[in-house]
Chain A
């Protein structure tokens, strides 16, 4: 549904995109993850026809974003980093205006506006100016505006940036229900948890190119080892536990004295866990907690971006 091939875009001497490739199948939620300035927004702006690439090609919903920009525009919705609504108009007036500009008839635009206001839980606030809305409400209005024409592909550029946890949860719920209805979604975010929660597949972008792609689990398995954590009862013996982990594990152990925690990456989770438990007992080091866990997406992300910087 979204295909990008070797997209490149320079701004003066900075290269924002440098051979960016992406393939998003229909009906999936795809997360585009990367630090600030990695090129996420530039990629979205090219895919939504707002910006022309210097090189490379992209097709969205079957149409070329440069040569058939109008056809792409008729099939996409974009929700950008700020709520792109007119604050002096009411929620209803905003949706009716954007509906008319999408060339819906007056009656259809009114009906769509009413449906979307209901669906996004904005019916009560429909006739208040959008400027008086909370951040979460404004973002929902923005999302509603992006859905006026039932777009085939929806682009969400950091849709929860600057929202409080409640606003974020509201937006997440909306995105999930859209995905359930079969809309293809490309979501950019800096919040790893967001990508973990929402996306079927991820692409990590750094310095303008995709440096890793796959499902969240694949990336975790492929790019960072599982970790074995031991919490000791007696803080005095934390050093001993760490030394033991260094022998069993596949890397440098990390120690967190405040939590009495020693942690080490391991490849064979079962063997390592059995061995550590046995040795702790043999040496009489009492453990309060012991366990193997998957790396967090943060750890994966740091591992990937550290690699691509090297």
Chain B
């Protein structure tokens, strides 16, 4: 019975996000357009000036990076939604209802994964439109998509935890200060080879670089050829740290 209600409650909360989309389609479209705009900007404005290490087409290099970046920027959506609920008292209302903490956070994460899947789908289509291709067949491509969603899933918990700890949607600026350097100080747009020594080291160790580089290999796009394991280990580490923190924070909200 408990399991039944957990699934049912999580689904009710996931539906809530689907209703948001239906009620405010403009919001959804704007959210989807933002990464497309960044993609076009780098593909056509800056791209000509950027050289791909080891040669190759910049757009082919850029797209896997854009996929990873979009997954990371998804953190902001999670943060805003969770913080708004906490501030409005909606979270308190949930907590005075006979539903489990797990359902509330699972509902949130399912909704955000749906959002991530749609966002990634749009970006994949845009990528194909600007000439990017997956060269290693469907299985490798699916594995790459899996790695990208895994990164989003891991960062989602960081977002929930940050939002519950800060509790105010206005602090989104602070989160952007965290997310943007994380996004750009990576192999998303340029190779860490081209950065000053210590910055390059940070960029190489960035979880985003790990996912971007691993998906480049799986899609058969030019770029880094390091080991793929960090793309799995990094998200797992994030999950091990932030899932318990987020659940604990939810239970102990005051």
Binding site for B on A (CB under 8 A): 11, 45, 48-51, 70, 73-74, 76-78, 80-90, 93, 97-98, 100-103, 129, 145
- The answer for the CA separation of A181 and B85 in the assembled complex, in Å, is 31
B97 within 8 Å of A (CB atoms) = yes
Contacts of B19 in A (CB 8 A): 88-89, 93
Q: Does residue B138 face the partner (Cβ distance < 8 Å to A)? A: no
Interface presence of B193 (CB below 8 A) = no
User: Roughly how many angstroms separate A81 CA and B87 CA in the complex, as a whole number?
Assistant: 11
| Cβ–Cβ < 8 Å partners of A50 in chain B | 92, 95-96, 253-254
Q: State whether B93 touches A78 (Cβ < 8 A).
A: yes
Asked if B44 lies at the interface with its beta carbon under 8 angstroms from chain A, I say no
Minimum Cβ distance to chain B for residue A42 (Å): 9
| Cβ-closest chain B residue relative to A146 | B93
Besides A77-B96, A101-B9, A101-B97, 20 other CB < 8 A contacts?
A49-B95, A50-B254, A73-B97, A80-B89, A80-B92, A82-B87, A83-B88, A84-B89, A85-B88, A85-B90, A86-B90, A89-B20, A89-B23, A90-B23, A100-B9, A101-B13, A103-B5, A103-B8, A129-B23, A145-B93
Q: How far is the CB of B26 from chain A (nearest CB, A)?
A: 12
Q: Which of B13, B23, B95 contacts A88 (CB 8 A)?
A: B23
A-B pairs, top 5 by smallest CB distance, nearest first, are A84-B89, A84-B93, A80-B89, A100-B12, A88-B20
| B251 → A minimal CB distance (Å) | 10
Q: Main SS of chain B's interface residues?
A: helix
Asked whether any CB of chain A lies closer than 8 Å to the CB of B99, the reply is yes
Judging by beta carbons under 8 Å apart, are B98 and A82 in contact?
A: no
Tally of contact residues, B, Cβ under 8 A: 25
Q: A49 to chain B: which residues have CB within 8 Å? A: 95-96
Q: Closest Cβ of chain B: how far from A46's Cβ, in Å?
A: 11
Q: Which residues of chain B come closer than 8 Å to A100, judged between CB atoms?
A: 8-9, 12
Q: Across the A-B interface, how many residue pairs have beta carbons closer than 8 Å?
A: 74
**A86, B23: Cα distance in complex, Å:** 12
Candidates A48, A74, A85, A145; contact of B98 at CB < 8 Å: A74
Smallest CB separation, A146 vs chain B (Å):
8
- Can you list 20 residue pairs at the A/B interface with Cβ under 8 Å? A49-B96, A50-B254, A78-B96, A82-B87, A82-B89, A84-B89, A86-B90, A87-B88, A89-B16, A89-B19, A89-B20, A93-B19, A97-B12, A98-B93, A98-B97, A100-B12, A101-B12, A102-B97, A103-B98, A145-B93
Chain B, 239-254, contact with A by CB distance < 8 Å: what is the 0/1 string? 0000000000000011
CB distance from A225 to the nearest CB of B (A): 41
Chain B residues closer than 8 Å to A11, beta-carbon distance: 254
Task: List, in ascending order, chain A residues with CB within 8 A of B97's CB.
Answer: 73, 98, 101-102
* Cα A101 to Cα B23 with chains together (Å): 20
Cα distance A98–B13 in the bound complex, in angstroms: 10
> CB distance B90 to A70 under 8 Å?
no
- Residues of B within 8 Å of A98, CB to CB, are 93, 97
Say if the beta carbon of B24 comes within 8 Å of chain A: yes
A38 to B98, CA, bound (A): 29
Bound-complex Cα distance A45 to B253 (A) = 11
B34 at the interface (CB under 8 A from A): no
B94 at interface by CB-CB < 8 Å: yes
Q: Chain A residues near B96: list those with CB within 8 A.
A: 48-50, 73, 76-78
A225 to B5, CA, bound (A): 57
* Chain A residues positioned under 8 Å from B8 (CB to CB): 100, 103
**Cα separation A121 to B90 with both chains bound (whole Å):** 22
Report the separation of the CA atoms of residues A82 and B93 in the bound assembly, to the nearest whole angstrom: 11
Between A51, A81, A86, A87, the greatest number of chain B beta carbons within 10 A of the residue's beta carbon is seen for A86
